[in-house]
Structure 1
Amino acid sequence: MSGAPLTSIRNIGPAMAQEMQRAGFRDADHLRDLGADAAYARMIDTGTRPHFIGYYALVMGLHGRPWNDCQGDEKTRLRASFDALCAARKTPDNSAIEAELDKLGLGLRR
């Protein structure tokens, strides 16, 4: 028996649900149990390209809030969490172009 679909969580549409299914999430309860940070880390590990708006939309959705409700200090804190999450997944064998983009400040944050 399966639970509610991933798209039953606010801010999760069909495209994000597909990425989540690829990362192994079965349903909304499975996602809620894991939480936003661990879920997004798993998504990155399974090939989802990191994107800050996707991350904070997930965080807001798991709190039942619209994605555009994230502002000010809260958004600043979430940005720091997102950057730390991405940095923890950075592999030492980045391509030369990624290294150059990082020097310009255009690396994973682009």
Structure 2
Amino acid sequence: MADLTTIRNIGPRIAADLHRIGIHEPDDLRGLDGDELYERLCAHDGMHHDICLRDTFVAAIAYVTTGDDRPWWMHSRERLAAAGRERST
């Protein structure tokens, strides 16, 4: 059983966020969706967290699933680019 902080982009604070919503080890992230994790945490805490937290969840899932070790902000760029494409259609 590996600690969540062994995942790139996940430090103690983000690991604590994940623990609060039932994610306790890296394999718990397999097959999950970053948007759903973000929404689950926001609902659990009764507040909207910074959207970059969603990108960190996406990065962690990608790392566990495919070994993609890009920093979380690269996932932010992808999210923002996708939002721009949606607005232009």
User: What TM-score comes out, normalization by structure 2 length?
Assistant: 0.66
- Which residue of structure 2 aligns with residue 86 of structure 1? none
Which of 57, 68, 73 aligns to 1:68? It is 73
**How many residues align structurally?**
77
- Which residue of structure 2 aligns with residue 30 of structure 1? 28
Q: 1:26 offset after TM fit, Å? A: 1.9
1:70/1:31 Cα in 2 relative to 1: closer, same or farther (>3 Å)?
Answer: closer
- Which residue of structure 1 aligns with residue 53 of structure 2? 54
Does residue 12 of structure 2 align to residue 14 of structure 1? yes
8 Å contact kept, 2:9–2:56: yes
> % of aligned pairs identical?
31
8 Å contact kept, 2:5–2:12: yes
Which of 1 and 2 has greater Rg? 1
RMSD of equivalent CA atoms: 2.5
Unaligned runs of 5+ in 2: 63-68, 85-89
- Please tell me the residue identity of whatever aligns with 1:41: E
- Please tell me the residue identity of whatever aligns with 1:65: R
User: What TM-score comes out, normalization by structure 1 length?
Assistant: 0.56
Q: 1:46 offset after TM fit, Å? A: 1.1
